[in-house]
Structure 1
């Protein structure tokens, strides 16, 4: 007996029937099915945390960031709009100030032109020059005001004489004559008008006294 026979003597003998046809039933045998690669269980999906609102925290974070950036943009836009308005107001104020300074130097000349026109001396070449001076002043926005019959306004008129007259009952002060016209540019009064004032009776039943238009 060889060593090989002694080593295998105690091992059980295993007989494998590899016949494809079962000798008893006569049916064709099939090998046991093994799970294919396609039948492997799918990996478990990663759980995504959900906030109290039911949204993905990443979505909430991005939404909050967009809202913050939008608010910043709106604030910057509002600040820029305010800045532009301030710049425009300052520019307009500077321009009006320059016009006021320039036209103020012409007021005495305009007074001379008014006196010449009142005496009938505004004729010939002098009238042509006077018209050009008036046109230059008007181009700068200069407006004369005050006329007979205007309601007296202390912010626009300088009264050098006030006649009370014999008025019984309610009365109002009106301009009786204009001694020197007033001038303004936009809402700036360069010089009040020099006028005389007289009291005028007012109808008590009238709710308001209509102011006559300024000329």
Structure 2
């Protein structure tokens, strides 16, 4: 086959492989460049296809990024909810512990105070006996000694914040006294008034440690 025939066949094959672009001049130039070993330029249709492929690739990448962002934001929202729930639980536990601590401290203080009061209450009969002994004592020296002991006893009670309940001449109150006897009124005495205290009562900070035993006018 002659060289001229080969060139014609090659040109025919190149024509078949062209993209069908309307601009035949550009395709012909590309064919000539391919024959000469140069890099051919893209025809209009090929450029359009390349651009479309690039756009589709970008759209796919954008879609993947968008899905990743949505998933990431969803995870962040879930973590925020979990953090808020943990914070709420922490506040609840802290408040409960603080209430427990205060309640325990108050109970401990109350038990301690009650324990001291119980110990001091054991001394009340000692004071009663000292007063009876002082009232019946005829010896002056002995009487002075009893008075000194009784004053020391009363000082102990005062230092502990304990007050004496002595409602003589006052209206009877069951909150601080027990009526052990009722006597008729004499010389215009008012009914319901305490005439005499048979046994002293004691209280501390408003709490009665021992009720006074009294005689009431009926």
Is the Cα contact below 8 Å between 1:142 and 1:183 reproduced in 2? yes
Report how far residue 11 of structure 1 moved.
3.3
Structure 2 distance, partners of 1:8, 1:140, is 130
Report how far residue 125 of structure 1 moved.
5.2
Match of 1:138 in 2: 158
The one of the two structures with greater contact order (alpha-carbon pairs below 8 A, sep at least 6) is 1
Q: Which runs of 5+ in 2 are unaligned?
A: 13-27, 34-40, 48-53
TM-score (norm 2): 0.58
Matches within 5 A, 1:115-126: 115=132, 124=144, 126=146
Deviations 1:153-197 (A, max 9, x none): 23421222213538xxxx862212222210123454332112111
Match of 1:101 in 2: 118
Is the aligned partner of 1:165 residue 2:185? yes
Structure 2 distance, partners of 1:197, 1:60, is 78
Is the aligned partner of 1:180 residue 2:199? yes
Match of 2:210 in 1: 191
Is the aligned partner of 1:86 residue 2:103? yes
Deviations 1:91-128 (A, max 9, x none): 12321232122112211222244456768979755544
Matches within 5 A, 1:1-215: 7-8=6-7, 10-12=9-11, 43-44=61-62, 45-47=65-67, 48-49=69-70, 56-115=73-132, 124=144, 126-165=146-185, 173-199=192-218
Cα pair distance change 1:74/1:174, threshold 3 Å: farther
Q: CA RMSD in A?
A: 4.1
Is the Cα contact below 8 Å between 1:96 and 1:185 reproduced in 2? no
Bigger Cα displacement from structure 2, 6-15 vs 87-96? 6-15
Is the Cα contact below 8 Å between 2:130 and 2:146 reproduced in 1? no
Q: Which runs of 5+ in 1 are unaligned?
A: 18-30, 35-39, 51-55, 200-215
Cα pair distance change 1:72/1:119, threshold 3 Å: same
Deviations 1:12-41 (A, max 9, x none): 497769xxxxxxxxxxxxx99x9xxxxx76
Of structures 1 and 2, the larger Rg is shown by 2
Structure 1 distance, partners of 2:90, 2:124, is 51
